Amino acid sequence: MAASRLSDIAKRAGVSIAAVSIALNDRNTTRVSAAKRDLIYKIAEELSYSPNELAKALAEKRSRLLGLVVPMRDPIFFNQFIAQALSGIQSTLMRRGYNLLIFSPSGRPGRTTRDQILESRFTDGLLFINTRSCSARDINETIHELNEAKIRFAMMNSYYGRAPVNYVGVDDAAIGEAAIRYLVQRGHKRIAFLSGESTLPTHIHLLQGLRRAMIDFGLELKPEHIGCTHYDQTQAFSIMDAWFARKKDRPTAIFAADDTLLVHIYDYMEARRLSAPGDVAILARANSANAGGLRPRPTAFFIPVFEMGQLAADMVIDAIEKPERPPQRVLLPFTFSAGNTT
């Protein structure tokens, strides 16, 4: 009743297990006579033989499995960012003949993702999609443990550290600079920045770029015009209310750090009966899969999430197949898309 094995075929064909293995793995091998080979194939067919990949992987010391880790509480599959990244990852895996193992987040509260990963060595390597819930400290600890355990990996999206790891992200400082350049060229001087938590890599890098460019133009990003949130709408609303309270200092443009905040801004504008760009210009750093459907279409710098996924997957596989290659660190170019909000 159990599935058939190489030994079953070998027995029936009257040949050795090795012969069966060789024949089945290479139709055109010369190491097995044509007659035997045909017999082997015939019997394999009869027995509906399918190899035990576990045994194969153990013997070959590689499973062609890539593990995916997304440190996130919410269901990952509803997240458009993740969906885009996964599609990119898939495209690379297809091309290079790997499959994807998605770890189920453990329900046990005491166990961290890290422990779990270390316990799950099915895979040849691991791919991390860092999210808003990854602090710099979390990430650095993870990196340390992975290196200790000699696990090959790559990370994508927002890493803030200097350790030599395979990483693909986007140059947020450059986005920040580009944002200011764009806005200032269109006459804006009082620019506000609506962002996430102040500890996030993305926030820090964007801010760096924004400040640098403002200084270049002889302008200033006022502290009260930097609004950090926990991605909470109420909080975002009260920040913007404060911005708009005084007619005089009111910002003429707002730059949003990501899609979620952009949507908060849209909601706010609707609630307060404001419109862009008439009352205030809106510019954003966004993921096209999320922001693509918004009306009016936002003017935005789009992050190449699909490509990030592709490249990150390639990086892990390279790390697996060419262990001598030093870790790569790539910042992908972003794209600009003019919409109707500036």
Partner DNA sequence: ATGAAAGCGCTAACAC
Partner DNA sequence: GTGTTAGCGCTTTCAT
State the binding partner of 118 from DNA, a second copy, none, CB within 5 to 8 A by kind: a second copy
Residue among 311, 301, 304, 313 at smallest CA distance from 339: 301
What is the smallest separation between the CB atom of 67 and a second copy, expressed in angstroms?
9
Give helix then strand counts, H and E, for the chain.
13, 12
Residue among 150, 122, 155 at smallest CA distance from 140: 155
Q: Is 230 exposed, middle or buried (0-12, 13-18, 19+ CB in 10 A)?
A: exposed
What is the smallest separation between the CB atom of 110 and DNA, expressed in angstroms?
21
Q: Which of 31, 95, 111, 144 binds DNA (CB under 7 A)?
A: 31
Place of tokens 């400290």: 137
Q: Strands, E, within the chain: which ranges?
A: 65-69, 99-102, 125-129, 153-156, 166-170, 191-195, 226-228, 253-256, 281-286, 299-302, 329-332, 335-337
Binding-site size for a second copy (CB under 8 A) equals 50
Residue 277: asked if its preceding bond is cis (omega within 30°), the reply is: yes
Whichever of 90 and 238 has its CB closer to a second copy, that residue is: 90
CA distance 262 to 274: 14
Hey, is 2 helix, strand or coil?
A: coil
- Binders in 146-175 for a second copy, by CB under 8 A: 148-151
55 binds DNA (CB under 7 A): yes
44 binds DNA (CB under 7 A): no
- Binders in 207-246 for DNA, by CB under 7 A: none
State the binding partner of 25 from DNA, a second copy, none, CB within 5 to 8 A by kind: DNA
12 binds DNA (CB under 7 A): no
Q: Which stretch binds a second copy (CB under 8 A): 29-37, 57-65, 268-276, 297-305?
A: 57-65
What is the smallest separation between the CB atom of 126 and a second copy, expressed in angstroms?
12
CA distance 56 to 332: 37
Whichever of 1 and 35 has its CB closer to a second copy, that residue is: 1
Residues contacting residue 100 through CB under 8 Å, at least 6 positions apart: 65, 66, 67, 68, 86, 89, 90, 93
Whichever of 32 and 180 has its CB closer to DNA, that residue is: 32
105 binds DNA (CB under 7 A): no
What is the smallest separation between the CB atom of 301 and a second copy, expressed in angstroms?
22
State the binding partner of 19 from a second copy, DNA, none, CB within 5 to 8 A by kind: DNA
What is the smallest separation between the CB atom of 289 and a second copy, expressed in angstroms?
8
Q: Count CB neighbours of 181 within 10 A.
A: 14
Per CB under 7 A, residues contacting DNA are: 2, 5-7, 14-19, 21-22, 24-25, 30-33, 36, 51-52, 55-56, 58-61
Per CB under 8 A, residues contacting a second copy are: 1-3, 48, 50-55, 57-58, 63, 65, 75-78, 82-84, 86-87, 90-91, 93-95, 97-107, 118-122, 145, 148-151, 289
